[in-house]
Amino acid sequence: MQIKWRYGLILMAVVPGLLTLPACSKNQVQTEASVVQEQEQDMKAEKTPEELEQERLEREAAERKLRAEKIKFMYEDIYFNKDRYSLNPEARQILQRKARWLMKNPDLNVLVEGYTDERGSKEYNFALGDLRWEICGPEP
């Protein structure tokens, strides 16, 4: 019974405090920079319909370009020569181009997958895959 009484007292003390907490507000002081930003936003809002249409077209063109780059990135594979774990010069160029593109688009994530073909034993293909990962994979 005493435990319930204690919990009741605690709740009676805590709940009113929590209810008044959101009612407190903070005074915000606008700095000169924020006033200038607001003025610039107001000026942007006063754009002509032609300017707004031009901005929309530019945004759509940038989105189409990025979509095309993503598709090229996804479907441009890098191949190793048969029974080799080092990349040939052409494959290295593709890999470097992909790395540069990823650095320009740091907000994108990719999944790197690697496969061997059906030739050779299972153990051989696992060993070859491990060698390829050590050479081309991320540094520890």
For 78, counting Cβ atoms within 10 Å of its Cβ (0-12 exposed, 13-18 middle, 19+ buried), the class is middle
pLDDT at 140: 46
**Single-letter residue type at 75:** Y
pLDDT at 109: 87
Q: Return averaged pLDDT per consecutive 10 residues of the chain, 140 residues in all.
A: 66 62 54 71 73 91 92 86 84 90 89 79 86 68
Q: What are 2's two structure tokens? A: 């005493």
| Residue whose C-alpha is closest to residue 72's, from 101, 112, 92 | 101
CB of 136 closer than 8 Å to CB of 95? yes
